[in-house]
Amino acid sequence: MSNYRIEGDVLGKVKVPADKFWKSQTQRSLENFPIGIETMPQSILNAFALLKEACAIANLSYQKITQEQCDAIEHVCEKILDGQYNDQFPLHVWQTGSGTQTNMNFNEVITTLGNQYADQEILHPNDIVNCSQSSNDTFPTALHMMMAQKTIDELLPACERMITELKRIEEENQGLIKIGRTHLQDATPLYFSQEISGYRSMIEHSMDQIQSSLKYVKELAIGATAVGTGINCPKDFDQKVCSILKEKTHIDFVPDPNKFHALTSKDACVLLSGAIKGLACNCMKIANDIRWLASGPRCGIHEIDIPSNEPGSSIMPGKVNPTQCEAMTMVSVQVMGNDTAIGMAASQGNFELNVFMPLIAYNIDQSIQLMSDAIDSFTLRCLHGLKPNKETIDKNLHHSLMLVTCLNPVIGYEKAGKASQYAYHHNCSLKEAILELGYLTEEEFDLYVDPKKMI
């Protein structure tokens, strides 16, 4: 028995492995684009299956396809969504920039499996499965669906869990005063809980920015077909498909009000990617702060303790490193790079179509995935075990020269500055400097220099 079969298209005949359900266009893509190891993300494949199912239901309502044809398409799409045919979607990211071959990969696999299910040839990849559609509107639609679903299902919940953990740290450490730092130098005091609240607010702001960007991500290109005019597509097809998708996903998908915009502009992708980059920047700052504050344990700042998750060195016994912080910062840098690629790709729309969409899909899928995973790991393996080192915090607080700031209204800025410099150069405490310079009595110093009064 032959290990391949012959499939034909307008360009001729192609050998397709006998155990595969795709046809000629998928096979041609595999042979013509042996580039890299990156394949289409599973998330966009799931979105495509859901979209093909919704389009079939909409087409049935217009009597563009029969009930039997719709049933076959729905049956296969549900199986795909269950993960039964993941190996039938092998195409590389580095293919045609419209994603046409991924659209045809779906049309071909659904056709083969649907005809097997119906036990007769009732489906055709172009005429039936792709009815009322074009690759030019299905790929950007699936892209937007994937971005919305993955952000709502994975990224935003991860952020919520991080916020919850930060709130716990705040509440458990009320009243603990520490020295603040600006420009990496000593500054005036603040509560430890206030510092943590800054981190919490960063993630809350990032969440708000991400959620705001989803308004535009929820606008779908379906119904635009080839160039935005909707050729070969029934009136209000876009509304019906969006209504079906909303029912299935509980996400408020709507048609893009201007289909010419929907095909050629990727500004919604840029907006969401930018908001995720903003989250990455905030996470980078938080992770860097924590690894600096945990530095030591003997020769660093060591104002906080973080969990000891694994040995940190292959040569230095007992060393423990801030590995969760390092993972978070690496992920953040990757997300920043992805955002640059997405922005450049979005700027390359030519006439009626942007042909960098697989690249955008791959990068934004990775950004959402990496940030979701990194935030959850950081929350569980770093924040959950984070504790303030109260002894060091108190020592640093009372050793700081910037407590002199509260004396500005009492002895004036100039004398306060001289006292600070005197203490630094004579390696004495601020109190000793003030007393030696004769600016205040000991009783006056104790009255005015109180960290609680500086917050």
Tell me which of 201, 308, 313, 347 is the catalytic residue. 313
Q: How many residues does the chain have?
A: 455
pLDDT, greater one: 263 or 8: 263
Q: Does residue 22 contact residue 16 with C-beta atoms inside 8 Å?
A: yes
Rounded to an integer, what distance in angstroms lies between the CA atom of residue 216 and that of residue 196?
32
Do residues 295 and 157 share a domain? yes
Please write the tens of the pLDDT for every residue from 140-190.
999 999 999 999 999 999 999 999 999 999 999 999 999 999 999 999 999
Q: Does residue 70 contact residue 59 with C-beta atoms inside 8 Å?
A: yes
Q: What is the CATH number of the domain that holds 443?
A: 1.10.40.30
The answer as to whether 301 is a domain residue is yes
Residue 165: the pLDDT is 98
Do residues 45 and 182 share a domain? no
Tell me which of 2, 183, 250, 425 is the catalytic residue. 183
Residues 6+ apart with CB under 8 A from 62: 132, 234, 237
Kindly tell me if the per-residue pLDDT of 445 is higher than 90.
yes
Do residues 151 and 269 share a domain? yes
The separation between the first and the last C-alpha atoms of the chain, rounded to the nearest angstrom, is 83
The answer as to whether 409 is a domain residue is yes
Please write the tens of the pLDDT for every residue from 19-76.
999 999 999 999 999 999 999 999 999 999 999 999 999 999 999 999 999 999 999 9
Q: What is the mean pLDDT of the chain?
A: 96
Among the candidates 342, 357, 391, a domain finishes at 391
Q: Does residue 313 have an active-site annotation? A: yes
Kindly tell me if the per-residue pLDDT of 122 is higher than 90.
yes
Neighbour tally for 247: CB within 10 Å: 10
Q: Does residue 36 contact residue 135 with C-beta atoms inside 8 Å?
A: no
Burial (CB count within 10 angstroms: exposed 0-12, middle 13-18, buried 19+), residue 30: buried
| Cα 38 versus chain centre, distance | 19
Do residues 331 and 186 share a domain? yes
Please write the tens of the pLDDT for every residue from 249-259.
999 999 999 99
Please write the tens of the pLDDT for every residue from 76-95.
999 999 999 999 999 999 99
Do residues 384 and 416 share a domain? no
The answer as to whether 94 is a domain residue is yes
Q: Does residue 75 have an active-site annotation? A: no
The answer as to whether 324 is a domain residue is yes
- For the segment 122-145, the average pLDDT, to the nearest whole number, is 98
Percent of the chain with pLDDT over 90: 96
Rounded to an integer, what distance in angstroms lies between the CA atom of residue 178 and that of residue 400?
10
- For 363: left if phi > 0, alpha if psi spans -120 to 50, otherwise beta; the answer is alpha
Among the candidates 343, 365, 391, a domain finishes at 391
Q: What total of structural domains would you count in the chain?
A: 3
The answer as to whether 230 is a domain residue is no
Q: Does residue 114 contact residue 123 with C-beta atoms inside 8 Å?
A: yes
Do residues 29 and 155 share a domain? no
Is it true that the peptide bond before 451 is cis, omega within 30 degrees of 0? no
DSSP secondary structure letters along 362-423: HHHHHHHHHHHHHHHHHHHHTGGG-EE-HHHHHHHHHH-GGGGGGGHHHH-HHHHHHHHHHH
Do residues 168 and 293 share a domain? yes
Query: pTM for the full model?
Result: 0.95
Q: What is the CATH number of the domain that holds 34?
A: 1.10.275.10
Rounded to an integer, what distance in angstroms lies between the CA atom of residue 105 and that of residue 118?
20
Q: What is the CATH number of the domain that holds 312?
A: 1.20.200.10
Contacts of range 390-396, beta carbons closer than 8 Å, 24 or more positions apart: 390/176, 392/301, 392/302, 392/303, 393/176, 393/177, 393/178, 393/179, 393/192, 393/303, 396/178, 396/179, 396/301, 396/303
The answer as to whether 248 is a domain residue is no
Do residues 66 and 113 share a domain? yes
Residue 316: the pLDDT is 86
Among the candidates 131, 157, 173, a domain finishes at 131
* Domain region containing 49: 20-131
Residue 1: the pLDDT is 53
- For 107, the enclosing helix (H) or strand (E) is helix 100-118
Do residues 215 and 89 share a domain? no
- For the segment 279-284, the average pLDDT, to the nearest whole number, is 98
The answer as to whether 450 is a domain residue is yes
Contacts of range 236-243, beta carbons closer than 8 Å, 24 or more positions apart: 237/58, 237/62, 237/132, 240/57, 240/58, 240/61, 241/51, 241/54, 241/55, 241/58
Q: At what angle do helices 267-293 and 323-346 cross, to 10 degrees?
A: 160
Do residues 217 and 90 share a domain? no
Q: Does residue 254 contact residue 242 with C-beta atoms inside 8 Å?
A: yes
Please write the tens of the pLDDT for every residue from 362-377.
999 999 999 999 999 9
Query: In the chain, how long is the greatest CA-to-CA distance?
Result: 103
The answer as to whether 151 is a domain residue is yes
Do residues 37 and 57 share a domain? yes
Do residues 92 and 147 share a domain? no
Parallel, antiparallel, or unpaired for β 185-191 and 4-9? unpaired
In DSSP terms, 15 is beta-bridged to 6
